[in-house]
Structure 1
């Protein structure tokens, strides 16, 4: 039990995952990316920082996965992100109305669903691309899309574009910044904090504007 709790705590330390799990690090990354985009309980998972850190440790990931090129690793991650959104879409399609009646719990806050819906109403289907870079919305945007019955073909177009833009931009940024600044590995905490700040600032400002609606 203590081992499981230690592992859960370390999920928020991406460097620990890539340094300690070797051959299985990629599969842990894929599981987290799928859970974050495929289930409403995944909103707290560190997708952005994991992808950026995966880019920094890209050479090790490739070495531990049959020495494939980094672009193959990124495409695998993007494919899982696409599948996660499909899972989220069908979750919303099948039970979206029930989710709005669901009581709040540790893993589920109805206000997150409402914020995602407001965001989706403002940006329409392009919200599926934008939400990839916004924690919390990344989880709930596909659920909202399914709940309001967005055309599945249109959903898939924006789903694919968003997944590719998200994975390629973050993983390649980590990869090339590490090449340019090898000491980057020693300051991951600050880099991750900056990423979180950049990605969450827009949604925080939007929440402030919409606060009266949520009260």
Structure 2
């Protein structure tokens, strides 16, 4: 067994191939991570989009642990459904936590795990986009962790929240898992390219793509703040 390193905690392939006593538990770890990243404020650092994309690539191995199906499509569809259900449960828990905790989180001091700025950024994002923020947030790291919590804090209508919760979770899971699986199938069958040999590049690409909107938003907000400061000084 390879020596464990802290860096493995942000490597989705580590979770997918995780074994205990010779038995693979990847599918259960994937489902828990999806729940944690979409419902527990301490789970914002966990891999989300890259984990789902890689789950699509490793879908056959993952589903063999639960219910092996000969049909390739049904195999991937069941995996996406399980992931979507975990995302729904995660967001539901986040909503409940936000509703119960109220303004408590705004009074918690920053620490290694919790940063208050993430809460404020998610609140602004949520207020700007309303219910659609639940859908948009699924595809944005960090924001997807805090969006359901904010929805609970502002007491968003539970029926409206659950509608967006279900739609966003299935959209997120099916898009990334099916994309990962069928891109792997296409490249392997037509060009002999196995994406499993390029996992590091895939992770890097997905991290850049998913974090770029957040980075641009931060740069834009800082630029706007600087302009305001210059006007005040003038």
Same fold (TM over 0.5): yes
Shift of 1:36: 0.7
- What are the equivalent positions in structure 2 for 1:1-215 lying under 5 Å apart? 6=4, 9-21=7-19, 23-68=24-69, 69-182=75-188, 183-211=194-222, 212=225
Q: Which runs of 4+ in 1 moved over 3 A?
A: none
Shift of 1:7: 6.8
> Are the equivalent residues in 2 in contact too, given 1:51–1:171 (CA < 8 A)?
yes
**Structure 1 residues 77 and 114: alpha-carbon distance in aligned structure 2, compared to 1, 3 A threshold:** same
- Encode CA deviations 1:35-77: one digit per residue, 9 max, x unaligned: 1111110000001111111000011112222214221121011
> Are the equivalent residues in 1 in contact too, given 2:27–2:63 (CA < 8 A)?
no
Aligned pair count reads: 211
The whole-number CA distance in structure 2 between the counterparts of 1:91 and 1:209 is 31
Larger % of helix: which?
A: 1
* Aligned alpha-carbon RMSD (Å): 2.0
The whole-number CA distance in structure 2 between the counterparts of 1:25 and 1:171 is 15
Task: Give the match's secondary structure for 2:168.
Answer: helix
- Encode CA deviations 1:165-191: one digit per residue, 9 max, x unaligned: 110011011101110123211111111
The whole-number CA distance in structure 2 between the counterparts of 1:130 and 1:112 is 16
Structure 1: unaligned runs, 5 residues or longer: none
- Encode CA deviations 1:70-126: one digit per residue, 9 max, x unaligned: 211210110010000001011111113010111001110000000001111111110
Q: Which has the larger radius of gyration?
A: 2
Structure 2: unaligned runs, 5 residues or longer: 70-74, 189-193, 227-234
The whole-number CA distance in structure 2 between the counterparts of 1:7 and 1:56 is 24
The whole-number CA distance in structure 1 between the counterparts of 2:24 and 2:66 is 7
Task: Give the match's secondary structure for 1:6.
Answer: coil
The whole-number CA distance in structure 2 between the counterparts of 1:8 and 1:190 is 20
**TM-score, normalising length: structure 2:** 0.84
